[in-house]
Amino acid sequence: MLRRLYVWEIPVRLTHWVNVASIVMLSLTGYYIGNPWILVSGREWYGPYFMGIVRFTHFVVAFVFIASLLLRTYWAIAGNEWASWRGLFPFLTKEGRKSLADAIGYYFFLRREPPEVIGHNALAGLTYGWIVFLYLLLTFTGFALLGEVNTSGIWYKLTGWIFLFVHNQVLRQAHHLIMWLLIAFALHHVYSAFLVDSEEGNGLMSSIFSGFKFIHADLLKKMGVAKK
């Protein structure tokens, strides 16, 4: 028998969709900044300042993205067990390592049944840990490139030291590479979400909107989780 369980709290769902929208906007504006393909003239209302508008949009969305990351970081401490930061480090516990091995075995067709979990499986959690690392690199390289425009500003004071070791073109290439890695992850993430939803039949896709998943009563009992 399936039980309806509230798994993803509002801050988790909110930051998820803010991150989705932010990454889409940052990718579009960032790609244009690096490879402008729109030719403009002084006749349009935005005149020759189109690049400035795109850059400003990029910066505003970047700060929204950072605010979302800060909220999610706080909720990784204050939220329920399925929002916890511990999910990013499954290898720290015996149960986590077993769950990680089960997930790897499932994705490599070494076992038929998916791992028994309520939130994310251990492999997904570990992957999200690397995604957080990419977010941090993306943010740092972005601020370093922004600071280079105004060497008397706060961002250059915080990040300018990196130019003693790395050429700005290397940072720019790293910034673009991270964008493509995140796009590749997003495609895989959507595919995996549909796969897991189909295999487990637990309403995973709808849960990121409603917060509720449908879990077998036996698994809830095994995990020691009371119905909420």
Q: Does residue 227 carry a pLDDT above 60?
A: no
Token pair 């050429």 is found at 167
The model's pLDDT over 158-207, given as tens digits with 9 standing for 90+, comes to 999 999 999 999 999 999 999 999 999 999 999 999 988 988 888 999 99
The model's pLDDT over 118-142, given as tens digits with 9 standing for 90+, comes to 999 999 999 999 999 999 999 999 9
Q: List the chain domain ranges.
A: 2-223
pTM above 0.85, yes or no: yes
CA distance 113 to 12: 27
The model's pLDDT over 36-51, given as tens digits with 9 standing for 90+, comes to 887 776 666 666 788 8
The model's pLDDT over 67-76, given as tens digits with 9 standing for 90+, comes to 999 999 999 9
Burial of 90 (0-12, 13-18, 19+ CB in 10 A): buried
CA distance 10 to 100: 27
E-strand ranges in the chain read: 2-6, 212-216
Predicted confidence at residue 8, as pLDDT, reads: 97
CA distance 215 to 201: 9
Report the top-level CATH class of 2-223.
mainly alpha
